Structure 1
Amino acid sequence: KGPAFARRGITDEVLWQHNPKLVIAHLSGFGQYGTEEYTNLPAYNTIAQAFSGYLIQNGDVDQPMPAFPYTADYFSGLTATTAALAALHKVRETGKGESIDIAMYEVMLRMGQYFMMDYFNGGEMCPRMSKGKDPYYAGCGLYKCADGYIVMELVGITQIEECFKDIGLAHLLSTPEIPEGTQLIHRIECPYGPLVEEKLDAWLAAHTIAEVKERFAELNIACAKVLTVPELESNPQYVARESITQWQTMDGRTCKGPNIMPKFKNNPGQIWRGMPSHGMDTAAILKNIGYSENDIQELVSKGLAKVED
């Protein structure tokens, strides 16, 4: 919720009195200021998606739906992190701290801007996809093969030419509707868009994923199998890059999950311990910034801090 710390008297100015170089990142659903109707409302992932125009663009043609898992939470966390790091870099130059106001809905507004710009500057709103296919371009999106699903992007002059030969549409090349040099097939503006989809669906349904990947690799058409979660850790690319790893939890159990990304060459990241328990590091952090044992206990007694039992 909005200015939660300021309501308790902990304003930016109070904090800067103690440390003028402090970088403060406020993360809330609707921001630190605005209208009372929204600023103090609680918010979670789906709330931010709905209020930002991001949710209405996702889902199927018949119904919008939020993007999971918890997209707005993750994007907002990344935004807060990068903003704080940028501010810390600036503090080194100026010696002056910063306060950053991150509204989750504005993060998602930015993430969903691609199609919105057409509406804001021309009144055109992109339709939602149908069965996972790109709302604008034929040959782009989710498709079903004989033994599972792939995603593909039919983009490029030679890619379209060679693909059309395979699916029996070579006679449409170099026509007024699909002139020489065409790099994308618009499924709405091109009168042959529906036919391209029909022929492509039939061709893909008659071939296995392995066959499609092999042929598309020859044609330099971007595609990928839609992997199931159990397939991830045995995939050769995952194995080669150690994309899935394991570590020890604080109570001695083995935990498996995604490895650190991105990968730094000279100073690689590392998992140096498991996730701390609630309050495990509180006392150490507070002591490091000057709090005494009595100060910490006072915060705990007031319910303002949690330390490990």
Structure 2
Amino acid sequence: MALKGVKVMEFLGLAPGPFCGAILADFGASVTVISKIQSSSFDVMSNGKRNISLDLKSKEGTDIITRMCKTTDVLLDTFRPGVMEKLGLGPDILTKHNPRLIYARLSGYGQSGPYKDKAGHDINYVAMSGILSLLAKNKEPPTPPLNLLADFAGGSVLCSLGIILALFERTRSGKGQVIDSGMTDGLFYLSSWILRSQFLPIWAGEPGSNILDGGFAAYKTYKTKDGKFMAVGALEPKFYINFLKGLQLTDDEYPQYSDNDRNEKKFTEIFLQKSQNEWCQVFKNLDACVTPVLEMTNLETNEYYDAKKPMYRDSNNMIIPEPCPKLSRTPGTTMAKKSPTLQGLHTKEVLQELGYSTTEINNFINTGKVFSANKSNL
């Protein structure tokens, strides 16, 4: 696997951090999660990772972290700016022990600026990026998206990209570096095309009235007879002609860029005459950019997923996607196929690898400096 041999320390936080660690693990990295004793953080991305539970406010806890860093490639800091410095574990200190350490900092607003110490969630970061203002219609309040945009796209994915870039650069310089990955900044960067195309006519109207935001009859969703939906993306003339063909209409009757309200009304009326499956059959052999709006419960029944097999079901019958992108020689494989990791499950194992004696490890456990899910003494 592409990241085989890379050692990662992930400080347990909310979803963006664990998914960043999961991306690295899925492509071969060995990820050890550092959790606080009796941590209440909810993590569904722990599969395939090791977990060591420490009292991070104790000298013993920070000493263990420092020793781990000496042989670690990547540290993933998911706390607010300044927390690691207060613990004595900031990059200035840890990189002295390991100049090759890549210290990745994933936070809402980044490590600088007036918002750096503020709490926030995806809705706040999307709002601050400017994108939330575009997710509105008819001057109604903007609708917050699912927490994919800032948390995972601007956060997890771009942070993992930064880590890969730093690992690549280290092969030439031999040096690590600090990565400042702010979710707001990340989403702002992902929005480059939207921001740089604002002068184009496609953004001339109010949010919700433009070609790409639901205001164009040939680029939106339509309800079907059985209460499901079809997605239409017939932007180019050649696709629009085929789209009309599927509806048994002509371009002479319903020109693409004239009387948009009339077109939408007609398309709405026609889509209600057939079920989603019937419309899938209509457009199966028409290159019209028309697809069903699939629901999470029926993804596998669609021919796309049935053929590509990009997922599997876990023991709880939950859908687990396989890693993407696909690499021809060193493909990733989801660590979700392994059992979820319990807090402190690998505490003793990791401490042994670091050279701590049986007496030291048992003393750490008995004094509450570390937590081990395995209660038996070594």
Identify the TM-score tier after normalising by the shorter chain: 0.7 to 0.9
Matches within 5 A, 1:64-143: 64-75=142-153, 76-119=155-198, 127-129=206-208, 134-135=213-214, 137-143=216-222
Higher relative contact order (CA 8 A, sep 6+): 2
Alignment CA distance shift 1:82-1:231 (3 Å): same
1:214 pairs, out of 278, 281, 286, with: 281
Q: Verify: 1:279 aligned to 2:344, yes or no.
A: yes
CA contact (8 A) 2:95 2:101 kept: yes
CA contact (8 A) 1:167 1:203 kept: no
Alignment CA distance shift 1:197-1:255 (3 Å): closer
Alignment CA distance shift 1:288-1:48 (3 Å): farther
Paired residue secondary structure (1:219): coil
Alignment CA distance shift 1:126-1:307 (3 Å): farther
Alignment CA distance shift 1:220-1:101 (3 Å): same
Question: Percent identity, aligned pairs only?
Answer: 20
Alignment CA distance shift 1:288-1:74 (3 Å): farther
2:320 pairs, out of 258, 281, 289, with: 258
User: Corresponding residue for 1:181?
Assistant: none
One-letter code aligned to 2:232:
M
Residue 32 of structure 1, CA deviation: 0.9
The whole-number CA distance in structure 1 between the counterparts of 2:135 and 2:356 is: 48
Q: Verify: 1:49 aligned to 2:126, yes or no.
A: yes
Paired residue secondary structure (1:82): helix
One-letter code aligned to 1:73:
D
The whole-number CA distance in structure 2 between the counterparts of 1:205 and 1:157 is: 24
Deviation string, structure 1 residues 160-188 (Cα, Å, up to 9, x no partner): 23444656453268xxxx6xxxxxx4xxx
Paired residue secondary structure (2:318): strand
The whole-number CA distance in structure 2 between the counterparts of 1:139 and 1:164 is: 10
Residue 31 of structure 1, CA deviation: 1.0
CA contact (8 A) 2:242 2:288 kept: no
Alignment CA distance shift 1:27-1:214 (3 Å): same
Paired residue secondary structure (2:284): helix
Task: Give the alignment's TM-score, normalised by structure 1.
Answer: 0.77
The whole-number CA distance in structure 2 between the counterparts of 1:239 and 1:65 is: 33
CA contact (8 A) 1:155 1:221 kept: no
User: Corresponding residue for 1:204?
Assistant: 271
The whole-number CA distance in structure 1 between the counterparts of 2:327 and 2:134 is: 35
User: Corresponding residue for 1:192?
Assistant: 259
CA contact (8 A) 1:46 1:66 kept: yes
The whole-number CA distance in structure 2 between the counterparts of 1:63 and 1:300 is: 54
CA contact (8 A) 2:242 2:287 kept: no
Gaps of 5+ in 1: 179-184, 249-253
Q: Verify: 1:3 aligned to 2:66, yes or no.
A: no
Deviation string, structure 1 residues 83-122 (Cα, Å, up to 9, x no partner): 1121111111110111000111112222334433345899
Task: Give the alignment's TM-score, normalised by structure 2.
Answer: 0.64
Alignment CA distance shift 1:96-1:299 (3 Å): farther
CA contact (8 A) 2:135 2:142 kept: yes
One-letter code aligned to 1:160:
Y
Residue 126 of structure 1, CA deviation: 5.7
Q: Verify: 1:151 aligned to 2:231, yes or no.
A: yes
CA contact (8 A) 2:102 2:176 kept: yes
Alignment CA distance shift 1:236-1:63 (3 Å): same
- Give the count of matched residue pairs: 285
Gaps of 5+ in 2: 1-79
User: Corresponding residue for 2:19?
Assistant: none
Residue 279 of structure 1, CA deviation: 2.3
**How well do the aligned residues superpose, as a CA RMSD in angstroms?**
3.3
